[in-house]
Amino acid sequence: MSPLEFIDPQLILTSLLLLLATFLLSASGKRKKSEKGYLIEWVLLILIIINIAYPLHEASCTEDNIKEFAQGSGFTCKNSSNKYRVSKQDGWEVDKSYFVKESLMIRADMCERE
């Protein structure tokens, strides 16, 4: 399981293109650098950082939960408006970054240890 599978590449690409366009416009001299221009650039930069940091956090939580599950820990997981008790004793298994039982799949990062 790679942390990169949690990152949305289209969102990152769009953010980078907007940031690049903003820098190119300011560098070409066609617009004066104002407080608003700096604010837009900083907001775009912060969005890019969030789009990378949050998925990496999700990947870390998933990895930790799967390791604890393998050691026999139980979890309380939320899926939409339902809560499930997930443990090996209840017949749950791991498939990539999901806990699976029959046809039900729950993302491992959506669970809290009991």
Tell me: the pLDDT tens digits for 21-59?
777 766 666 555 566 667 777 777 788 788 788 888 888
Q: Which helix (H) or strand (E) holds 77?
A: strand 75-79
Tell me the three state secondary structure of residue 100. strand
Structural domain boundaries in the chain: 3-113
Using alpha carbons, list the distances in angstroms from residue 49 to 7, 27, 37, 74: 11, 23, 19, 33
Higher pLDDT, 19 or 96: 96
Query: For 26-30, 82-86, 96-100, which range has the lowest pLDDT when averaged over its residues?
Result: 26-30
Tell whether pTM > 0.85: no
Which candidate, 38, 10, 11, 6, places its Cα nearest to that of 22? 38
Q: What is the pLDDT at residue 37?
A: 66
CB of 98 within 8 A of CB of 106? yes
* pLDDT score of 74: 96
